[in-house]
Amino acid sequence: MLQSNKKQTIGCVKTVRLTGKNATELLDSVANETPVALVINGEPHVVMMASPDNLEDFAIGFCITENLISSANDIHYLDIIPCDSGLQIHIRFRDQQQTHRQKQRNLTGRTGCGLCGTALIEEAVRNTPVVESDIKVNLRQISKALEVISSNQPVKSKTGAVHAAAWNSVSEDLYVVREDVGIHNALDKLVGSLYLDGKIDPMTGFIVITSRASYEMVTKTAFAGVAVLVAVSAPTSLAIEIAEKSNLTLIGFARDESCVIYTRPERIVRV
């Protein structure tokens, strides 16, 4: 696998800041947003608006959370190629019979949109796997994970314009954080990094996201094999419904020392 031609995630623009009657010209840092086209087995699949970093993670994570592959080893070839208007990620699966699992999206996935370009309702509300796990997470670990994700967002600290997703181990001091202008992309990058690493078992930890918990975030988490999803904002009704059916523990409004558990509370230890 090859990741090349990495673009900068932060740009700089001239601005005018108004404070009362005073106007000051300043240089401001902004998060770069780039069209990223995924071409799978030679066929265009989807164009997502994303931050132009960790794109190998993104491609692998997208394929896993969209149920196109089961592991990073299912990918035979991956190449990232710049084009005039953005980037193309060319992916070829080892097993060409996996092509039948490929669901082409024919529209651009706008920033933060995980379902844009899905042609059929049946493809959007898809069957989500049941997550079997006896993992236990306590409130102290959730509070620490919130601190970890807050202090490991370098692009947000400079621009204020990106989301983040983090995986946190429950048995050791181990975590992984990924940022992106779209929270769905951040989660895909996170999942891809876990599966690409090969030494981390995603089932031994939980995921934190700096956003609401939509249906798509729950589905992606389930396909990643992670049993607990923690969001700093509220979940949607469909997210709660799918989490219940998938045996996934869904938490919202996560704060220091407090949270709201919507499904499968038995995995959360009250200490």
- R_g of the chain, CA atoms, integer Å: 19
For residue 115, give every residue at least 6 positions away whose Cβ sits within 8 Å of its Cβ, in sequence order, or none.
124, 216
**Beta strand 43-50 with 108-109: parallel, antiparallel or unpaired?**
parallel
Tokens (6 digits) for 98: 């996996």
Nearest-CA neighbor of 103 among 88, 122, 86, 76? 122
State the catalytic residues. 113
Partners of residue 89 on adjacent β-strands = 38, 80
Dihedral over Cα of 107, 33, 62, 138: its sign:
negative
For residue 269, give every residue at least 6 positions away whose Cβ sits within 8 Å of its Cβ, in sequence order, or none.
136, 137, 138, 139
Q: Which residue has the tokens 């990232």?
A: 80
Tokens (6 digits) for 193: 């990094």
